[in-house]
Amino acid sequence: MSLFDNILKDSETLFKNEYALNFEFIPKTLPFRENEQHYIASCIKPLLNQRQGKNLFIFGPPGIGKTAATRFVLRELEEETDNVIPIYINCWKKNTSYKIAYDICEQLNLKFLQNKRTDELLHLAKKVFTKLPAVFVFDEIDKLEDNDFLYFILEEIPRKTVLLITNYKEWIAQLDSRIRSRLTAEFLEFRQYKPNEIKEILRQRIEYAFFPSVWQQEAFNLIAEKTAQLNDIRTGLFLLREAGNIAEMQASRKITIEHAKKAIEKMDDFSIKDSTLLEPDLREILSIVKQNDNKKIGDLYKIFKEKTSSLISYKTFQRKIKKLAKDGFISITKTGGGDLGNTSIIRYQKIKKLTDFR
Ligand SMILES: Nc1ncnc2c1ncn2[C@@H]1O[C@H](COP(=O)(O)OP(=O)(O)OP(=O)(O)O)[C@@H](O)[C@H]1O
Ligand SMILES: [Mg+2]
């Protein structure tokens, strides 16, 4: 064996197709989500027979294939027929009725959209949907700032399936009743993957993304274990890519357990480093939000005071919460009128926030 066998040359790479590690990449098959895909498809199928589709409310924790399974079904639908229009919108990116109406018109290739109001845009789109049925997917629906467009779609578009996706099952309860009664959605819960399923999903992804046998088994096992602990495939994809990059940087032909460990350290660093930049009381509040995810701001204030015997006022606490939200550590969802007080639900932002949309 030559001394240089394990050294990567300048032009060489471990990645066969790095794009396959992007979060929006959809593989040829999505193992362990067959039932969910069939269920989604069964809600759309009536549209193919000139009947009314069913609406579906999809929920479950982050990084477990809700978006991927839904997009997979849309892709199959597109391959199957031109007679149903698929519309996919991420409400984190398009979070108002105006932006959504505009995006729908763009997806329909409609022209001359500038200077039009939301209702004008929606009426333009309606003309197309009166001729052909549509599937609307509104992903990350809890990030919406207003939902007037939803009322319009439910009320004015004759034949459609509306799919709403979120991490939060309770989101639907705060929808106003005129929308909820028109939606009459069925519920589809995505359960978390089991550790052996996560391992198989990552193993398949390695085949897409890396040249054969660049991964040492124990390095892969470590990343699969870490991913199973965090229960989020997105983290696994991030770690696979990082470990590959670290190995390449060291000009190694193999991805070893050291590279995998470094990738994991880097991920922890990333989130910890950001939060250690915070002032001590902000860090304390963040850790309380993390342990008490999804609670009202008033309840968090009580917990904070009990735990720290701090004398800060509720107003100051609110300001600090807002600061954490501004910096992307937490999110605030208002559940209905009133001031910030009892009506704001505070959620911890997981690693996703840091690594999403790469
Ligand atoms: N069964 C699977 N097979 C292959 N890849 C998968 C599978 N499940 C999830 N993934 C991949 O994991 C990543 C995260 O999945 P996805 O984006 O669908 O999560 P999600 O449930 O929508 O999460 P969030 O609630 O945070 O939006 C994606 O890149 C997706 O392709
Ligand atoms: Mg998603």
We report the CATH number of the domain holding residue 106 as 3.40.50.300
Q: Is the CB of 183 under 6 A from ligand 1?
A: no
Integer angstrom CA distances of residue 180 from 34, 51, 95, 186, 343: 28, 21, 19, 11, 20
Residue 323's domain is classified under what CATH number? 1.10.10.10
Check residue 114 and report its DSSP letter.
Answer: T
Residue nearest atom 8 in ligand 1 by C-alpha distance:
65
Quote the distance between the C-alpha of residue 223 and its chain's center.
21
Domain boundary, last residue among 244, 274, 304: 274
Nearest to 209 by CA among 231, 183, 236: 236
Pocket test for ligand 1, best of 64, 188, 231 (most atoms within 8 A of CB): 64
What is the full per-residue pLDDT of the chain (358 aa) written as tens digits? 555 566 777 778 999 999 999 988 999 899 999 999 999 999 999 999 999 999 999 999 999 999 999 999 999 999 999 999 999 999 988 989 999 999 999 999 999 999 999 999 999 999 999 999 999 999 999 989 899 999 999 999 999 999 999 999 999 998 999 999 999 999 999 999 999 999 999 999 999 999 999 999 999 999 999 999 989 999 999 999 999 999 999 999 999 999 999 999 887 655 555 666 677 788 889 889 988 988 999 999 999 999 888 889 999 999 999 988 887 788 898 876 555 455 799 998 765 443 443 3
Q: How many domains does the chain have?
A: 3
Q: In whole angstroms, give the CA distance from residue 159 to residue 170.
A: 27
Verify that 203 and 263 share a domain, yes or no: yes
Q: In whole angstroms, give the CA distance from residue 177 to residue 95.
A: 21
Verify that 253 and 347 share a domain, yes or no: no
Verify that 247 and 342 share a domain, yes or no: no
Task: Say how many Å lie between the CA of residue 298 and the centre of ligand 1.
Answer: 34
Verify that 127 and 183 share a domain, yes or no: yes
Nearest to 163 by CA among 77, 271, 258, 265: 77
Verify that 171 and 234 share a domain, yes or no: no
Question: Residue 265: inside a domain, yes or no?
Answer: yes
Give the SS3 label for residue 297. Answer: helix
Verify that 282 and 261 share a domain, yes or no: no
Question: Residue 102: inside a domain, yes or no?
Answer: yes
pTM equals 0.79
Q: In whole angstroms, give the CA distance from residue 354 to residue 44.
A: 34
Domain boundary, last residue among 134, 169, 189: 189
Q: 234, 193 in Cβ contact below 8 A? A: no
The set of residues, in sequence order, having a beta carbon less than 8 Å from that of 172 and lying 6+ positions away, is: 57, 164, 180, 185
Task: Say how many Å lie between the CA of residue 24 and the centre of ligand 2.
Answer: 9
Verify that 68 and 171 share a domain, yes or no: yes
Give the SS3 label for residue 315. Answer: helix
Laid out side by side, the sheet with 56-59 consists of 85-90, 134-139, 160-166, 56-59, 186-189
Verify that 256 and 295 share a domain, yes or no: no
Question: Residue 211: inside a domain, yes or no?
Answer: yes
Verify that 182 and 68 share a domain, yes or no: yes
